Amino acid sequence: MPPFADLALFALALVAAGVVSGLLAGIFGIGGGAILVPVFYQVFGYLDVPEAVRMHLSVGTSIAIIVPTSVRSFTSHRLRGAVDVDLLRSWLIALPLGAILASVIAAAISSVGLRLVFVCIALLVAIRMLFNRDSWRVGDRLPAGLVNQAAGVAIGTLSGLMGIGGGVLNNTYMTSFGRPIHQAVATSSGVGVLISIPGIFGYAWAGWGAPGLPPGSTGFINWIAVALITPIALIVTPWGVRLAHAMSKRQLETGFGVFLILVSLRFLYSIYG
């Protein structure tokens, strides 16, 4: 068992992560998972959680925290009238289905595999955001029908595997079809709600009875970490919403891209460093 002083230091690190995740939830319409997953990975490693389940536990715990932060962010953005409610309604089945599929895949994939999924998706999105050009648009309007449903399932699945609320991928999806970044960010908060709620049940099931899980865990979700971070994240999320609506399109894109690259490098270091 680590000394009390060290545990207190890591508790402070979790509190700081809660502040950052809340800001990110508001600014980018994401649940903060992109910062929480690497933080959890380090903390759980220090607490001697086995490598075989550490990344899974990090992702599952992040998914659980996304529920309240996404709801809070969605409420704030909707009050500003920026959310595409019709798109969310069209994904009421597709996004949860993708989240459940992600938990099934997570039950079978290795820790390294899960980290590589995170890195690959994050880097692709970062390149899209940093070097975004109008000529990169796929079209001028969002798809409908089966293509739209397939996009929802894909966003739900990949986001569930990364431990994020879907904002990373939905922002890219919507802006690729000409939607304003501010509308994409606002709508992503609702995407996070539809992914994270079924994701909780999926990751609890996927890790049920797994060896080496720390106290306070239900499957791949650690409720102690959830209890520490959630209240703080909820308080600061509206601050992020205000920042998002005060920033320009290019500032949002650049900040988002740089952030994703830093997180990807950290995970690559954990694999090959």
pLDDT tens-place string over residues 174-197? 988 888 878 888 898 889 889 999
Cα gap 136→127, rounded to integer Å: 12
Q: What angle do CA 124, 158, 42 make, to 5 degrees?
A: 80
* pTM, entire model: 0.80
- Over residues 10-24, mean pLDDT: 73
pLDDT number for residue 134: 59
Q: Is a pLDDT exceeding 90 seen at residue 151?
A: yes
Q: Is a pLDDT exceeding 80 seen at residue 33?
A: no
Higher pLDDT, 151 or 76: 151
Mean pLDDT of the chain: 83
What residues form DSSP beta bridges with 218?
Answer: 221
| Helical ranges in the chain per DSSP H | 4-28, 33-46, 51-79, 85-90, 94-106, 111-130, 145-162, 167-176, 181-206, 223-246, 249-272
Higher pLDDT, 99 or 124: 99
Q: Is a pLDDT exceeding 90 seen at residue 41?
A: no
- Over residues 36-63, mean pLDDT: 86
- Over residues 85-105, mean pLDDT: 95
Q: Is a pLDDT exceeding 60 seen at residue 87?
A: yes
- Over residues 204-225, mean pLDDT: 91
Which whole-number Å values give the CA distances from 78 to 66, 116, 148, 187, 259, in the listed order?
Answer: 17, 34, 22, 8, 25
